[in-house]
Amino acid sequence: MTILAARDLVLGYGRRPVVHGVTLELTEGGTGLIGESGSGKTTLARAFLGLLKPLGGQVVYAGRDLRQADRRAFRRDVQPVFQGESLDPRMRIGASVAEALPRGARDRVGALLEQVGLDPELAARRPHELSGGQRQRVVIARALAVEPRLLVLDEPTSALDVTVQARILDLLAGLAADRLLITHNLAVVERLCRTSHVLFAGRVVESGETADLLRAPAHPYTKALRDAVPTLGGPPPEPGRSAPAAESGCPFRLRCPLAVPACEELPEPRVLAGRPRPRTVACHRAEDLLGGATAP
Amino acid sequence: MIEVRDLRVRYGGRSVAHVPELDVAAGECVAVVGESGSGKSTTLMALLGLTENAEVTGQVRVCGVDVLRAGPRELRAIRGARAALVMQSPQAALSPTTRLGTLMRRALKLHGVTADPAEAVEAVMLDRAILRRYPHEISGGQAQRFAIALAVALGAEVILADEPTSALDVTVQAEVIGVLGRLRAERGLALLLVSHDLALVSAVADRVLVMRAGEVVESGPCARVLSEPSHPYTRELLEATP
């Protein structure tokens, strides 16, 4: 059984919804939520952590609505990993990690620091005496203290240098806990998540196996995201069109190079037929895009 | 546009950046890459004489001005006008209580430049309606393009950009990079780009300097350095680039 799922989840601040009826399941091998600023990915992550009450629909934890679930078990199973700057600047590293450990197991600080590749002697230091990468490892150690089944990671490496980022990604990929990763960095998702969901303006527009999704996107937004990422030795990134999300119909239609009058109707997510890997997409033009259609 | 020979920046006697040679010609893009603490941003600040409390030696010419020996008046004549600085978060530098149009007109008046703000913002693919907005009403990508529009309106011949797109979404980053590329091609703008993103640099720069711990470890044409790196650190950076 999946540990967490969203069913017709509507989320927002005040009464204004920013996530509109999202349904998805977290699957083994890592799940990625991809999207740009304002896509609703962090809002969705907050709901998965039980930090935001849904305006509609539900978060399902171990088969039950999260509101009726055993919160202690939930806190043990699902742990957030924030950016390294979230550590208390006044606390020594050892005390910070010990605080996250259950009473009676506080002697495990050294072992936990070693598990994330840190010298146990760093326990005596304070956060400002560590590098950014070391601080990120401490935050991961804190999350691992209760032996969670799932880590929820919101842009865990975006503030780090590339060589440091590579080592943190290796660490995360080697952990027993599964991952829900929120990011705009496609390369990071590819490394850590077997399955990905692409969000645009608070809706999931495409879901599938990460590698398959990025190789052959079926939604024009997924393609735009992929083509905007510069690659080593590749051509300059493709800017695409700039426009706000549409208030009605397909939210991407004002930016979409393939938009047709039918796109004034909101496309429902549907499973694409004839794909080697399962793929769900909410686009009227998915088959045309996969068939090689380009802007007129 | 930019000529640097044996530039060294020291804080309290300790060398934090040393660049033996760096040239950027009109229409060219040269990138300085490296990780935190490599000295790349310090180098960029030194080019405009903005490293306070530092001991700076060597030769730096920007738009024909000898930066290290120039007086305040000469420096003011190039800073912000002929040589513009574009930072990671331009919104922080825009007065929150002033509309963008007023902001731009004030800057033009201050530098004694006659230019049409509407034309300037349209040159960076922004709608002229943005001039009626306040800084908090625009997105990060729009703010970055506004900063570039302001630089161009003031007659910038050189843009020194420090991580101009690292706070932006990839699609927005592509827009900003597209705008800079067009300005280089159409107006012969010279661009010095400081970045940690090798993939981005490989897509836009002609030449690259790789810095580590205050020293340039490798430099040359972008295509050569990134495909056949000769320094182990460049190789390490490339391998870590996702």
| Mean pLDDT computed over A50-71 | 94
Mutate to test the interface with A, among B41, B138, B165, B170 (most CBs of A within 10 A): B170
For residue A165, which residues of chain B lie inside 8 Å, CB to CB? 240, 242
Which tokens is A237 given? 């990134």
Angle at B169 between CA B163 and CA B175, to 5 degrees: 80
Quick check: B80 pLDDT over 90? no
Which tokens is B148 given? 């570039």
Which tokens is B238 given? 């490339």
Maximum distance among all Cα pairs of chain A, rounded to whole angstroms: 67
CB under 8 Å, gap of 24 or more: what pairs does B186-190 form? B187/B152, B188/B26, B188/B27, B188/B157, B189/B26, B189/B27, B189/B152, B189/B156, B189/B157, B189/B158, B189/B159, B190/B1, B190/B2, B190/B24, B190/B25, B190/B26, B190/B27, B190/B28, B190/B29, B190/B157, B190/B158, B190/B159
Q: Say if A185 is an interface residue toward chain B (CB within 8 Å).
A: yes
Fold of A4-215: Rossmann fold (3.40.50)
Q: What is the mean pLDDT of chain A?
A: 90
| CA–CA gap between residue B100 and residue B133 (Å, rounded) | 6
Position B158 scores a pLDDT of: 94
Counted residue by residue, chain A has a size of 296
Angle at A227 between CA B226 and CA A153, to 5 degrees: 85
| Mean pLDDT computed over B74-96 | 85
Position A23 scores a pLDDT of: 95
| Mean pLDDT computed over A81-97 | 87
Domain ranges of chain A: 4-215, 238-296
Render pLDDT for B167-213 as a digit per residue (tens, 0 to 9). 788 888 888 888 889 899 999 999 999 998 888 899 899 999 999 99
Residue with tokens 């440091």: A164
Residue with tokens 């399941």: A25
Does the beta-carbon distance from B242 to A238 stay under 8 Å? Answer: no
- pLDDT band of B87, cuts 50, 70, 90: confident
| CA–CA gap between residue B119 and residue B110 (Å, rounded) | 19
Chain A's closest residue to B38, CA to CA, is A161
Residues 132-151 of A with CB under 8 A from B: 132
Residue A40: CB partners within 8 Å, gap ≥ 6? A11, A18, A19, A22, A199, A201, A202, A203
Quick check: A295 pLDDT over 80? no
Fold of B2-96+157-240: Rossmann fold (3.40.50)
Say whether pTM exceeds 0.90: no
Q: Point out the least confidently predicted range of A259-263, B18-22, B180-184.
A: B180-184
Minimum distance, in Å, between the CA of residue B72 and any CA atom of chain A: 36
For residue B36, which residues of chain A lie inside 8 Å, CB to CB? 132, 161
Which tokens is A250 given? 């397909």
Handedness of CA A63, A65, A68, A70 (dihedral sign): positive
Domain ranges of chain B: 2-96+157-240
